[in-house]
A and B are shown apart, each in its own frame.
Chain A
Amino acid sequence: MSGGLSRPLAWVLLPITAAVLVFILAPLVVTIAISFNDTAFVVFPPHGFTLKWYGEVVSDPEFLGSLAFSTELALAATAGALLLGVPAAFAVVRGRFPGREAATAVLLSPLIFPVLITGVALLQLFAILRSDNTSLNLFLAHVLVTLPYVVRTVMASLMLADRTLEEAAQTLGAAHWRVFRRITIPQIAPGLAAGALFAFMVSFDNFPISMWLADAQHNPVPLLIFQRIANVFEPSLAAISTLLIVFAVGVVIVVERVAGLRRGLAM
């Protein structure tokens, strides 16, 4: 880290930074605060204190159905993205072949394309193919959006892995598979875990792909919240949001512990 902040500069920068952090936390804190409101409508400042909205949320079959579907979808998409993404990341980092850079660009290309438009394009493809299995369509679409994140994190951890350790093990007579299992995997495990967790969250939070492909029986949580913002004015919506915020904070803490946040996200 470079030289530290000089006194006059710190006087300017620290208050701005503090204000920005307040700005970042404000909508989350406000959402959590109003979820304990004991009025039938969202009001601010919060009025009274009750946990009844949480009771209502955990016994709301529509929400529970969405939650179960989102979780299954995110787990399946993460597994699919790992299955396709981990070998591909190995190939572009370790392989020697012409067009390696082009292959990397292809693997990461969905990241620079507006996700909303990827969604429309997939809706069109599935319509042309007459594929009306909503779960399958959503699964394929979510593998597509999570794949680049897995590729990027695994690539980053592979580049940081120390190859001389593998060479040493090989020189000492370890078989290829054994080197891979005992040396390579442990070195990239934190990156792999962070990539998987992040892929799970990308799928779990996704709106702009799901909005085109979901239907009433397969309604992921973000879509349910979006629909309710327009016509539910109870603090129950804030309670759902609070549960999601707590879940996300938990994931952030785990990623930070496992791999370090910035490295885990390969940013």
Chain B
Amino acid sequence: MAAPPAAVDFTSLAGPFRRRLPWPSPASLGTCVQLLPAVLFLGFFFMLPAATLFAYSFLTQSAQGNVGLPLTAAHYQHFFGTALYSRVLLTTLRISLTTTLAAALLAYPVALVMVRTGAMTARIITMIVIAPLIVSVVVRTYGWEVILGNGPSGVLNWLLLETGVIRHPVRLLYTEAAVVIGSLHVFFPFMVLPLASALGKIDPSLDDAATTLGAGSGRRFCRITFPLSLPGLAVGGCLVFSLTAGSFVTPAILGGSGAQMLGMLVDQQILTVYDWPFGATVATVLVVIVLAINLASMRLFDRRRRNAR
């Protein structure tokens, strides 16, 4: 980050500085003044606390609640050695993966339509896809709670009863399926938008050339559209997986004790049990999962790009 002092060319600074305002000037000192406040802010209020939280997961909490030495890996052993916690971890992974796959399957047609229809339709679809993003997650999840209500006046149950599909209300709320549906709704735009931008970049003459050479629409999709859309799919998949794994509101309202996820466990350990080191351990596990998924996909696509050259 910090450049060695020798790299600063003082002679070039003196000139523009005497008369000109430094802000819009490209001089390195000006750049430094522009950049430093934000970087210091992030260092102190983001990097430092994140590192402290990580450190806490290896410390010991005394009976009085003080956290300190000795260093220990006991919290991790406790986390991975207890069936209850392993179940929460597995539930989190299962819900995140299901949500990601469902989002990919449903986003693909929407993104294709978005890039291949007229500008007006594309604009309307974009508005409808993005608008919910700006409505608070809590509000949207409340809407799903009403729709998935377990009684006969839950919207979906009412619909199924009225149409004669079921005879008695079915249990929808407080299940993993409810959390998947809610998360799918909340994070869907994060899949559609990268996918649409990848699909929009595909050169249409490729499709025309393939058609001229006699390829059918199925073959064109498998050999051209799909492979070229993979980067968008990967970006969207990473976002949806990470956001679902780290969510709190949706599982807390729609899942409850029926689908406990890691975020709820962190909340419980820190705000109810006051066990800071164990809360920090669960938080670290969550962060490692999210970062691993993101790094893996980045590596994968860097290698593909290098091989393509």
Is residue B13 within 8 Å, beta carbon to beta carbon, of the partner chain?
Answer: no
- Which of B73-81, B82-90, B136-144 participates in binding chain A? B136-144
Is residue A216 within 8 Å, beta carbon to beta carbon, of the partner chain?
Answer: no
Contact status of A176 and B35, CB under 8 A, knowing A114-B246, A128-B52, A147-B42: no
The minimal Cβ–Cβ distance linking B61 to chain A, given in whole angstroms, is: 13
Is residue A211 within 8 Å, beta carbon to beta carbon, of the partner chain?
Answer: yes
Which of A2, A20, A28, A90 has a CB less than 8 Å from the CB of B116? A2
Is residue B302 within 8 Å, beta carbon to beta carbon, of the partner chain?
Answer: no
Let me know if B138 and A144 touch, CB within 8 A.
no
Contact status of A99 and B136, CB under 8 A, knowing A13-B113, A20-B106, A115-B246: no
Which of A4, A125, A237, A265 has a CB less than 8 Å from the CB of B52? A125
How many chain-A residues does the 8 Å CB contact rule pick out? Answer: 101
Among A1, A8, A34, A147, the one with the most B-chain Cβ atoms within 10 Å of its Cβ is A1
Main SS class of interface, B: helix
Let me know if B42 and A87 touch, CB within 8 A.
no
Let me know if A16 and B109 touch, CB within 8 A.
yes
Q: Give the interface residue-count category, chain B.
A: 35 or more
Let me know if B197 and A106 touch, CB within 8 A.
no
Which of A87, A91, A208, A252 has a CB less than 8 Å from the CB of B130? A252
What separation, in Å, do the CA atoms of A43 and B155 have in the docked complex? 9
What separation, in Å, do the CA atoms of A44 and B280 have in the docked complex? 42
What separation, in Å, do the CA atoms of A25 and B188 have in the docked complex? 12
Is residue A31 within 8 Å, beta carbon to beta carbon, of the partner chain?
Answer: yes
Let me know if A91 and B20 touch, CB within 8 A.
no
Let me know if B38 and A98 touch, CB within 8 A.
no
Is residue A40 within 8 Å, beta carbon to beta carbon, of the partner chain?
Answer: no
Using CB atoms and an 8 Å cutoff, list the residues of chain B in contact with chain A. Answer: 1-3, 7, 16, 20-21, 23-26, 28, 30-35, 37-39, 41-43, 45-50, 52-53, 56, 106-107, 109-110, 112-113, 115-117, 119, 122, 125-132, 134-147, 149, 153-155, 158, 185, 188, 193-194, 197, 200, 202-204, 207-208, 217, 242, 245-249, 252-253, 263, 266-267, 270-271, 276, 279-280, 283, 286-287, 290-291, 294
Using CB atoms and an 8 Å cutoff, list the residues of chain A in contact with chain B. Answer: 1-6, 8-9, 12-14, 16-17, 20-21, 23-28, 30-31, 34, 42-45, 83-85, 87-88, 90-92, 94-99, 102-103, 106-107, 109-110, 112-118, 120-125, 128, 140-141, 143-144, 147, 151, 175-177, 179-180, 184, 198, 201, 204-205, 207-208, 211-212, 221-222, 225-226, 229, 237-238, 241, 244-245, 248-249, 251-252, 256, 261-262, 265, 267
27 A-B Cβ contacts within 8 A? A2-B204, A17-B113, A24-B132, A44-B154, A87-B34, A87-B38, A88-B35, A90-B23, A91-B34, A91-B35, A94-B26, A95-B26, A95-B35, A96-B28, A109-B46, A114-B242, A121-B53, A125-B45, A125-B48, A147-B42, A177-B24, A204-B136, A205-B135, A205-B136, A208-B249, A237-B142, A248-B134
